[in-house]
Amino acid sequence: MDRTPHINPLLSSNPLSGLLPVMLLLTLPVIFSLSVSIIVSLAVWLSGLLWFVIRRKSLSSMPTMITSSFVLPLSCLLFVGIQGAVVHPLYFQGLILALCVLISAAQSFLRRENRMPGMSISDFSKEMLHKRLVMVEHERICKRLRLFAIVAFAGILAIYLRYGRYEAPPVQFLLTSVVAGVMWLSYIIEVVSLSMVKSKLQKEEWLPLVDNSGNPVGRVPRSDLDDIGSMIQSAQLPMVRLVALCNDMIFLEHRELCDLCDSDCIDTPFTDWIKGNGCADEVAQALIDERFCGVKRSCPRHLVTYNVERGKVSCQVHLYAVQVAEPDLLTMCCNPSESKWWPVDQVMEMLKGQTFSELLKNEMPYLKHTIVLAERIRKRRQERRNPSYA
């Protein structure tokens, strides 16, 4: 199952790699001359543009590359303008940092002007999910870049105040190294942060979002249902519930609190979310196959689909039922009190208590007056036709 749909391509490389030419332009002057630093940075930048052309990718997929595309040409113009003048690399680094901060701030401002308020269903579509993820990552990178630029300026100011003028070669080297060190520190932090995000997403399960007609409109992570539930409007999470019946009895089990169960209660154990591109019929069949130990495969029947609010999450519940010939055909837990067959009439009498789940309380009257009643009528007709059947 694809646990990270449409997101792995965006996380295959570090979004900060688009700023690699700018970082080289900030760090190389510590060792080499300005001309060599600019030539190397331009070579890396042109190689990145060529890669985008060969792969037929848009620069919008890596907004940091757009930042570099503005900073590098402007830096070349500055270098040409100061050609022949004696300029300390520290001044040049300061200009590059100022350009990065201004350009990233301008990008954030333009994005904020075009940002739509709120989050609707369309925000979870494939294209909108891609765009939203890229923009959120770039916004975070820009904020971190501006933060580290301020830290770099503060470090330079602290060293200047400590040592006075900075014409001494050791002080010059120390000042230029502060900028390089701070920028590489930000890059390392970003790489570690992205690696943690990728590790989390690779273990994540993605649940589909459907509209009232059952058509998929997007996906959400299972681990953040409570946080995302209040942000989703007019969409439901599809859930499958299956009820096993046998001789006027229903198979129930004690369940602990989880995302499928509202509280510590007694409920049907055959409950699961529809994951990935699966359908309700496949999930229902898989649920009964896990516990069924008979020779002839038991096929569930779809009864009804209804919507229900479970906390902050709106769910679309697909209710299924399956008739089991003998109670022994379903495997139970090691502890008999955890799972057992309950008489339907006994469950109906105890529904007013707090023992059973809210969903089961809503489903039992429907089950009794449809599936259970139909099975009783069928048995009576069978007994009339064949008295020895009783």
Same domain, 196 and 238: no
Same domain, 179 and 296: no
Residue 271 counted as domain residue: yes
Residue 381 counted as domain residue: yes
% pLDDT > 70, the chain: 66
Same domain, 174 and 321: no
Q: Which residue has the higher pLDDT, 238 or 227?
A: 238
If you average pLDDT over residues 253-270, what whole number do you get? 78
Structure tokens belonging to residue 106: 């301008």
In terms of Cα–Cα distance, which of 196, 243, 211 is closest to 316?
211
Count up the domains in the chain and report the number. 2
Residue 341 counted as domain residue: yes
Q: How far apart are CA 81 and CA 139, in angstroms?
A: 32
pLDDT tens digit sequence for 158-174: 666 666 555 556 666 77
Average confidence score pLDDT of the chain:
74
3-class state of residue 42 by DSSP? helix
Confidence of residue 241 (pLDDT cuts 50, 70, 90): very high
Same domain, 227 and 262: yes
Identify the pLDDT of residue 371. Answer: 79
Same domain, 176 and 254: no
3-class state of residue 186 by DSSP? helix
Scored b (16 or more CB within 10 A) or e, 187-214 reads beebeebbeeeeeeeeeeebbbbbeeee
Residue 258 pLDDT exceeds 60: yes
Identify the pLDDT of residue 74. Answer: 82
Residue 318 counted as domain residue: yes
For residue 169, with 0-12 CB atoms within 10 Å meaning exposed, 13-18 middle and 19 or more buried, which class applies? exposed
Q: Residue 248: left (phi > 0), alpha (psi -120 to 50), or beta?
A: left
Identify the pLDDT of residue 2. Answer: 41
Cα-based angle 81, 83, 87 (whole degrees, multiple of 5): 100
User: Among the listed ranges 15-19, 167-171, 234-238, 275-279, which one has the minimum average pLDDT value?
Assistant: 167-171
Same domain, 180 and 255: no
pLDDT tens digit sequence for 82-99: 665 555 677 777 777 777
If you average pLDDT over residues 259-284, what whole number do you get? 82
Q: Which residue among 149, 171, 203 closes a domain?
A: 203
Same domain, 32 and 51: yes
If you average pLDDT over residues 29-41, what whole number do you get? 82
Same domain, 52 and 154: yes
Scored b (16 or more CB within 10 A) or e, 141-167 reads bbebbbebbeebbebbeeeeeeeeebe
Identify the pLDDT of residue 127. Answer: 45
Report the half-sphere exposure of 146 (CA within 13 A, side-chain side).
14
pLDDT tens digit sequence for 136-156: 665 666 666 667 667 666 666
Q: Which residue among 203, 218, 252 closes a domain?
A: 203
Identify the pLDDT of residue 34. Answer: 78
Same domain, 162 and 214: no
Residue 229 pLDDT exceeds 70: no
Residue 390 counted as domain residue: no
Identify the pLDDT of residue 159. Answer: 62
Q: Which residue among 160, 179, 203 closes a domain?
A: 203
pLDDT tens digit sequence for 289-339: 888 876 677 889 999 998 888 777 788 899 999 988 888 888 766 555 578
Structure tokens belonging to residue 354: 């707090």
Residue 5 counted as domain residue: no
Same domain, 180 and 216: no
If you average pLDDT over residues 218-231, what whole number do you get? 68
Same domain, 246 and 344: yes
49's enclosing H/E stretch is: helix 34-54
Query: Could you tell me the residue range of the domain that residue 169 belongs to?
Result: 12-114+123-203
3-class state of residue 165 by DSSP? coil
Residue 3 counted as domain residue: no
Same domain, 223 and 189: no
Residue 183 counted as domain residue: yes
Length of the chain: 390
Write the CATH number for 230.
3.90.79.10
315 bridge partner residues: 237, 308
Identify the pLDDT of residue 164. Answer: 55
If you average pLDDT over residues 185-211, what whole number do you get? 76
